[in-house]
Structure 1
Amino acid sequence: MSVINHHIPDAMIASYAAGTLPHAFAVVVATHISMCDKCRAALEAHQSVGGALLETGDAVPVSASLKDSLLAQLDEPFTPEPVFERSGVYPGPVMEAMKGRDPKWKKMGMGVRQDILSEDKNGSVRLLWIPPGQAVPDHSHNGLELTLVLQGSFSDQTGRFGVGDLEVADHELEHTPTADPGLPCICLAATDARLRFNAYVPRLLQPIFRI
């Protein structure tokens, strides 16, 4: 397994552990954690702290109706959610986001393809397939963008990102990610706002590709 050099910020791991991270970002974080021992250990530490706080916190009284509702739910038959295992370069959390299917690639031009896994008012998460040597058009950000490498690698103004590496980009970063020579670069990317492309043609096509 390749060495992972770019990790999840600790504050984001804490938010993920607390269940407050938006779905699109949570998919990327869960995928990185499935690939990274260091961030998995950090998550376990946050979960341990959360458990300790629950044990030592003051009890909060609830109404009789709420208590009855909770007990009734416990009596209902439990249907476990399907557990997805890694398939090829796609870790379990990605397979879960795809509901066990194969990627449904759609062409974006210049050999780049994408598969939008989910999209709502809080953000989107998608797979990107970028041929070796191909650059994503120069852009900045209206919000936050997480990009996790699943295969190959890419480089930009901040460095090189290989398998398992996570790039966190915000409004301060303007970059031109370019897939390195070798295998096509497959990334899992999540955003909470549209990108800001500098060139006219990418801006023109942006509503079509929803990125």
Structure 2
Amino acid sequence: MNISHHFDDATLMAYASGSLPQGMALLVACHLHWCSECRQRVQEAEAIGGSLLTQIAPLPLDSQALDQVLARLDLNDQDVLGDAMAEEVSAQILKPQVQIPGDIPPPLYHYLQKPLDQLPWKRLGYGAHQLDLHLGGPGATRLLRLAPGVSVPHHSHSGSELTLVLRGSYTDEFGRFAAGDVADLDGEAHHQPIVDTDQDCICLIATDAPLKFSGLMGRLVQPLIGL
């Protein structure tokens, strides 16, 4: 996979620190599955974070802290706990391996559990379908499927928008994005993606605020399509 577009440093730092919303963290994890360059950058960010932690002066713990934690976990019966853990490990070992399609990163397949073409897509309009992952939190996380030649209305963003191409490709004001590429956009970005190949373009998109459509038609249909 020839990946040309990557995340900003700020996004990877936020991912490494665990401060991204669930949908955006999922999207980053999916890209990292394919992109060795961004995996390396996350490792560097984690190393920086670890170094900063070592510079924080430790605070003394209460002498009863460990006993209090164990009491809250209710670990009195270690045999029962050990048996349960052994059963869980055995179940994972004996669980049949699932063949994950190549255009779905494993972190995303955990939510979908089926190929892209078998998902319950919801029609938005001519040549456009979506699937809301209902992850909760601010914004939304969804799959968007556009037919060849179809474009998203020209828009900007109220907040941040992350897009990962799973299949096909599109072109906008920032270049051409193919499978594995990510677009990392903020409120300053204005663009109009259009599918530029003869196959459907399927993207995973995570936002933390609604889009801001520029044209009248986009603003009229926005409440209906939920973007």
Distance change >3 Å, CA 40–CA 74, structure 1 → 2: farther
1:101 CA displacement: 4.1
Alignment of 1:193-208 (within 5 A): 193-208=209-224
Which digits, 9 at most, give the CA deviation of each residue in 1:144-202, with x for residues without a partner?
11111111110001111111111122222221100112321110101111111123333
User: Which TM-score applies when normalising by structure 1?
Assistant: 0.86
In structure 2, C-alpha distance between the alignment counterparts of 1:139 and 1:40, rounded to whole Å: 30
2:136 paired with 1:137 = no
Alignment of 1:106-145 (within 5 A): 106-145=122-161
Which residue number in structure 2 is paired with residue 89 of structure 1?
103
In structure 1, C-alpha distance between the alignment counterparts of 2:128 and 2:209, rounded to whole Å: 20
Which digits, 9 at most, give the CA deviation of each residue in 1:53-98, with x for residues without a partner?
4455432234467533533549465568x89874241111111233
Distance change >3 Å, CA 205–CA 157, structure 1 → 2: same
In structure 2, C-alpha distance between the alignment counterparts of 1:181 and 1:38, rounded to whole Å: 26
Partner of 2:134, secondary structure, is strand
- 1:21 partner letter: L
- 2:109 partner letter: M
Higher helix fraction: Structure 1 or Structure 2?
Answer: 2
Which residue number in structure 2 is paired with residue 177 of structure 1?
193
The 10-residue stretch of structure 1 (83-92 or 130-139) with the greater mean CA deviation from structure 2: 83-92
In structure 2, C-alpha distance between the alignment counterparts of 1:86 and 1:64, rounded to whole Å: 49
1:46 CA displacement: 1.9
- 1:48 partner letter: A
> Which of 176, 180, 195 is the matching residue for 1:164?
180
Which residue number in structure 2 is paired with residue 28 of structure 1?
27
Gap regions ≥5 residues in structure 1: none
- 1:95 partner letter: Y
Q: Is this contact kept in 1: 2:26–2:108, CA < 8 A?
A: yes
Q: Is this contact kept in 2: 1:85–1:92, CA < 8 A?
A: no
In structure 2, C-alpha distance between the alignment counterparts of 1:18 and 1:172, rounded to whole Å: 24
Partner of 1:127, secondary structure, is strand
User: Which TM-score applies when normalising by structure 2?
Assistant: 0.80
In structure 2, C-alpha distance between the alignment counterparts of 1:125 and 1:138, rounded to whole Å: 20
Partner of 2:156, secondary structure, is strand
In structure 2, C-alpha distance between the alignment counterparts of 1:170 and 1:95, rounded to whole Å: 27
In structure 2, C-alpha distance between the alignment counterparts of 1:126 and 1:69, rounded to whole Å: 42
Gap regions ≥5 residues in structure 2: 76-80
In structure 2, C-alpha distance between the alignment counterparts of 1:84 and 1:23, rounded to whole Å: 24
Distance change >3 Å, CA 169–CA 52, structure 1 → 2: closer
Q: Is this contact kept in 1: 2:22–2:137, CA < 8 A?
A: no
Which residue number in structure 2 is paired with residue 38 of structure 1?
37
- Matched residues, percent identical? 38
Which residue number in structure 2 is paired with residue 11 of structure 1?
10
Which residue number in structure 1 is paired with residue 46 of structure 2?
47
Partner of 1:120, secondary structure, is coil
